[in-house]
Amino acid sequence: MIRRDYDVVVVGSGAGGGTVAQELAPLVKDGVRVLVLEQGPRLADAEFTGRELEMADALYEDGGAFLTSDGAMTLAFGRALGGSTVVYTGTSLVAPERVIRGWAVPGLEHADVARRSAKFAAQNDVHLLEPDLINDNNRLFVEGCRAAGLAAEQFPLNVKGCKGSSLCNLGCPNAAKMGTARVQLPAAQSAGVQIVTRAEVLSIRDHALSVVVRAGREGEKGAPSEWEPGQYEVRARVVVVAGGAVGSPALLLRSGFGSRLPALGAGFTCHPAHILVAEHERPITNDVGHPKSYYLDRAAAEGYVLETCMYFPFTTAKNLTGFGPAHGALMRAFPRLQMILVLACDKAVPGNRVGVDRAGKPVVHYRFTPQTVEALVRATRTSAKIFFAAGALRVHAPSADPPLIERRDAGRVDALVAARHFRTGKVSVSAAHLMGGCAMGSVGEVARSVTDAWGRVHGVPWLRVADASLFPDSLEINPYLTIMALADRVAEGIRSEARDLLGAGDVRS
């Protein structure tokens, strides 16, 4: 066992961990030793090839197919330096005021979240994509919404020099996406923060982390770890857990914190989603250009959000129901397909939670509530109407009977799409907005929360959480800016307590 000593160790390098690393970097000049441990590898720019199966294995946990315990839903989250900011589409929205108010976390105000979100939006070059970069897939969504009496909104995106590869979810091959691996982590490293990849934290006990550093498999993408492979004990005065809504609660549970924190792992939400496709008469530009430029926010009114999307052949094929000639015909129509991603704004309910198995590996228990299914059905009906209003010949809707709705039946969409056709395990559902498990709440309120509004774990002042697991309920929009805002608060809290926690001066600014 090799022993290493630091003042602050950050576990994870995504939107939460990368932000904390950057915001704690000013401490380094005062002699504070800051370390980031990332389970995944560090990829060179040339290794982002855009090839679907190759990049899925290289960038995602379980190749992007981490299954819930009943096998009914896949969860997609990154496993590389930069975490899920490597594989998202760069959509950058500020949390709705009604959602933050509804969370009712004492000491957490929407104005503060919005101010910090604006700071990172500026840092990440967030802007609206220029009109000449909008492809047909997005344009048809806007036109269909307008014809259906709905108002689509444009996503602000954190891209710089986007070349329209449409491969955001496979890691941008043009280095255009401004995730933490492009912005915050290089800034932290240049200020003296140390980053070690391929380093999995097995447990945390009394200021000590048990870490295993692994060598890459033969032929695997990514640089070797900065440390020699082996077992390490890393001692730290402060530990910040930022392993995501699956990784963070699982790490704390297998470290034994569940006995003192009964809410640990509870309150998991994820915006369950599935893809709808529509076939047009002529080819459209769909697999070139930014894939996710517009959305329709019906969260407050009807419990769902629609987003433009364009997925790759394997992912598309997996999401279509059925087999054989009908399935093949739709796939051969790929150049004529328009896509919409429907997302349900699920709620934290008892039973939906993160646990660990006997080996300590994360297990996500999730059931679709009737409210979630109804939201997906309403979203599907609206999407079908948008497709037909945009001129589609037919629409593939997994919760319809039959699942392929022809244009002649466009007036019967409400009758054809129904909750009774949504069969768990038969409809391909996935989620990438993973939230909850270490919920914020009132100070010391261990029955209902894990941390306070500054990510301090109840009763463990040296342990902090800084990622989407802090969300007490679903955010109802894309979460990365909110994660960064909350992580910024966690870092500020550590800096303001540096004298007590680290023996260093107060370095708030």
Q: Alpha-carbon distance 222 to 58, whole Å?
A: 8
- For residue 402, cis peptide bond before it (omega within 30 degrees of 0): yes
The pLDDT of residue 505 is above 60: no
Q: Alpha-carbon distance 329 to 404, whole Å?
A: 12
The interaxial angle of helices 110-123 and 480-496, nearest 10 deg, is 100
Task: Tell me if 341 sits within 8 A of 308, measured CB to CB.
Answer: yes
The pLDDT of residue 12 is above 60: yes
Q: Alpha-carbon distance 118 to 484, whole Å?
A: 10
pLDDT (tens digit, 9 = 90+) per residue, 392-437? 999 999 999 999 999 999 999 999 999 999 998 889 999 999 999 9
DSSP string computed for 285-332 = --SSS-S--EEEEEHHHHSEEEEE----HHHHHHHS---HHHHHHHHH
Count of Cβ atoms closer than 10 Å to residue 367 Cβ: 14
Residues with Cβ within 8 Å of 371's Cβ and at least 6 positions away in sequence, in order, are 303, 346, 347
The pLDDT of residue 268 is above 70: yes
**Mean pLDDT in residue range 243-250:** 98
pLDDT (tens digit, 9 = 90+) per residue, 370-397? 999 999 999 999 999 999 999 999 999 9
